[in-house]
Amino acid sequence: MVHDFDGKVALVTGAASGIGAATARLLVLRGARVTGGDLVRPEDAEGSRPYPDEAAFRRVRLDVTLESDWEGAVGDLLDREGRIDVLVHSAGISAGSPLHQTDLTAWRRVLEVNLDGTFLAVKHGIAAMGEHGGSIVLLGSASGIRPSPGAAAYSTSKAAVSMLARTAAKECRATGLPIRINVVSPAGVKTPMWEAMPFFQDLVAEHGSVDRAFAEMTRRGGGRFAEPGEIAEAIAYLSSDAARHVTGVELAVDDGYTL
């Protein structure tokens, strides 16, 4: 078993489900002490299932759009552990509607969660890691590399995440801070995010289950949908010392979707 995170302290957002939950679980399995932040109540979280080491995982409520929540979560973690070695920012939302039918409130909400939340993650991650250093991994999307019709707000927010990461990585390098900042950008992944999309709800109703809805999307040319654990492996690599010479990179985990 690989234990490349022995003794490491990690904060993972969006840890209640999907990629965030898979990443938190993988980091614990590999030796890290993980704090998982999310808005979902602990009893409703996918991450509430038993962990390989229950003592190595704790849950906190974290609204990534609120700076006060970041200050509280990061401050508490520093008080308990003395440092943060890894920050994985997985929290995000999507929205699907043609641009000319997207209202300003919906547009702003996607940008608030996906971009403002990422800005706060990077800001407070850098401040917490400081000269001790560490790794920050952000979740982008293949839709931020290759435009996705009907998802202008989402594609725009994820494209901006990539530039934010590159700028922050260069700033850390220029100021001598040993903090690496990278992005993992998946294509389709089997996560609960899809279940909020009206067209996906229609597919579930038509075909009888979430799994059959994903199969239908694949049949229509959507490509193979990845499992959250596959994306977590890429995140773990960029978070680990094996990637200590990698910063400012956007890693597409997309089965060639963006080629």
Tell me if residue 240 falls in helix, strand or coil: coil
Is residue 62 helix, strand or coil? coil
Architecture per CATH, domain 9-189+227-248, reads as 3-Layer(aba) Sandwich (3.40)
Q: Does 237 participate in catalysis according to the annotation? A: no
Of 51, 154, 237, 257, which one is the catalytic site residue? 154
d(CA 153, CA 172): 28
| Domain boundaries along the sequence of the chain | 9-189+227-248, 190-225
- Of 95, 151, 144, 88, the C-alpha closest to 117 is 88
The pLDDT profile of the chain, 259 residues, written as one tens digit per residue, is 465 899 999 999 999 989 999 999 999 999 999 999 999 755 555 545 556 566 889 999 999 999 999 999 999 999 999 999 999 999 999 877 889 999 999 999 999 999 999 999 999 999 999 999 999 999 999 999 998 888 899 999 999 999 999 999 999 999 999 999 999 999 988 777 766 666 666 667 777 777 776 676 667 666 778 899 999 999 999 999 999 999 999 999 998 989 8
pTM: 0.90
**HEC-encoded secondary structure of 25-44:** HHHHHCCCEEEEEECCCHHH
